[in-house]
A and B are shown apart, each in its own frame.
Chain A
């Protein structure tokens, strides 16, 4: 399903922490329903105003009943600072939904763990919802540097929920990889900082558990036209925005 370009309305915009925002926008195009793991290119500034590029942000939640898409994102630089200034009623330009997304059908009926780190937890909520709707409650392991966010929603659609923080102020003091026992699962679906995903992939590899990761890259077009986000794999260059961002960990991190 090819991406479309359209302007949508901002309906709600919440500040969850100093740097984390949850933005709700209208998405009336039911025939272009975004799937878990897909993303949009977001822009709310003119073409001749910096930054030059739009910002790729994953779908945190899509609700076909309310016809809304939610974006959970971190304010990190010039683009996300501009996004953070949007208020309800403002217009946001979207290109998408882009990317392959997670293969939910493959996970249904299996013992599934979702592993998220920081803002990498964002796409896992839509994934947990789709899995839950299909009758599979995944366990959710999340790691944050300090204050966690967005967790309460996961409890409704997941089985076990476990938290680790670097600071130790919340949940387990340490890395999420110290909580995860991949041998207890058939499938681990992971999104977070690349060192974390590599560590999860290594654990899964040792346990013989299939590990799926969602990558983050700088992107220019977000639709597979510019090849700016290519990831080099053993089977050749893969376009993260079009052939990804979801890959088998072995394909992108090696065995």
Chain B
């Protein structure tokens, strides 16, 4: 039996269902010596903004028993620098290129999207969900009306397939998803990190300068899966599921819940080959269960 892991996402063929999640995979080059990137569905690069950002001061990382809290703060070299320097390297990696675009004001999002129009980027993943920067997009990720406005404005200028990355902080994840689709999103990815907090006992102060930071990792997987399940039932566009995926079995759960593809983030820190390992585990499961394509099982768990 021959197993095919190929996924067609918005008319683009991806070699597999696993995409490296933004913020955990650099711009892909760092993993090139360790991972067969051609087996991946794609790489979502570090979030970029029109204006370069220095990121947050103070602590940026904290481990929890089964998660990771980060407060990076969208440190990035800016959209133009990405186009001139990081993108040419990404082009050589043999997988689809996702430009994760964050912003402060709507005009920044629009200008960023316009700059990306004539490039080799395959997908624009609109980040309206970074919890670590006040002007990083989360302002648009909570209320459906705000999301609708930014997505429709970007949609009007963006010529690339547009994927909107949702925050689990959304007031109502299904309403949020529907609003983004109505505003012109071609697909959705969810979830970004959960807003979290930690206190330093000795200092008697929050660990992070911003008080709150983003929780990722296996701790959030069941909640992320619930939201993906709900959103897959609420919209008719492809959904890319993410949140704490560590194994092929985790990824298959998201696909059975209806996800077209998945992203893998924090797991890359536990095993730099995680994206490839998870891809192989999915293939092994399919082989063992006589499943030839992911289409056969996508959404099969929905009741």
Which of A43, A48, A95 gathers most chain B CB within 10 Å?
A: A48
- Flag A223-247 by CB within 8 Å of B: 1 or 0 each: 1111111101000110000100000
Within 8 A of A (CB), among B249-294: 266-274
Name B60's contact: one of A52, A54, A229 (CB within 8 Å): A229
Chain B residue, CB-CB nearest to A3: B33
CB of A152 to closest CB in B, whole Å: 36
CB of A45 to closest CB in B, whole Å: 9
Within 8 A of A (CB), among B105-139: none
A179 at the interface (CB under 8 A from B): no
CB of A2 to closest CB in B, whole Å: 4
A105 at the interface (CB under 8 A from B): no
Q: Is the CB of A48 within 8 A of B218?
A: yes
A50 at the interface (CB under 8 A from B): yes
Q: Is the CB of B55 within 8 A of A47?
A: no
Complex CA–CA separation, A48 to B270 (angstroms): 8
Which of A229, A236, A237, A242 gathers most chain B CB within 10 Å?
A: A237
Q: Pick out which of these stretches binds chain A: B5-13, B23-31, B95-103, B170-178.
A: B23-31
Name A225's contact: one of B31, B57, B217, B246 (CB within 8 Å): B31
A199 at the interface (CB under 8 A from B): no
Within 8 A of B (CB), among A35-81: 43, 47-48, 50-54
Q: Is the CB of A225 within 8 A of B270?
A: no
Q: Is the interface of B mostly helix, strand, loop or mixed?
A: loop
Band of interface residues on B = 35 or more
A4 at the interface (CB under 8 A from B): yes
Closest 4 CB pairs of A and B: A225-B26, A2-B33, A47-B270, A228-B61
Complex CA–CA separation, A50 to B268 (angstroms): 15
- Flag A1-34 by CB within 8 Å of B: 1 or 0 each: 0111100000000000000000000000000000
CB of B101 to closest CB in A, whole Å: 17
Name B75's contact: one of A2, A221, A225, A227 (CB within 8 Å): A227
- Given A47-B274, A52-B270, answer yes or no on A228-B30 (Cβ-Cβ < 8 Å): no
**Which residues of A have CB within 8 Å of B24?**
220-221, 225-226
**Which residues of A have CB within 8 Å of B1?**
none
Q: Is the CB of B68 within 8 A of A227?
A: no
Name B68's contact: one of A48, A53, A232, A236 (CB within 8 Å): A53
Chain A residue, CB-CB nearest to B26: A225
Q: Is the CB of B46 within 8 A of A223?
A: no
Complex CA–CA separation, A53 to B67 (angstroms): 9
CB of A184 to closest CB in B, whole Å: 37
B63 at the interface (CB under 8 A from A): yes
Complex CA–CA separation, A219 to B62 (angstroms): 10
Chain B residue, CB-CB nearest to A6: B34
Chain B residue, CB-CB nearest to A1: B33
Chain A residue, CB-CB nearest to B270: A47
Within 8 A of B (CB), among A124-143: none
A-B contact pairs, 6 of them (CB 8 A): A50-B65, A52-B266, A53-B270, A95-B272, A226-B70, A242-B30
Chain B residue, CB-CB nearest to A47: B270
Q: Is the CB of B34 within 8 A of A220?
A: no
Chain A residue, CB-CB nearest to B34: A5
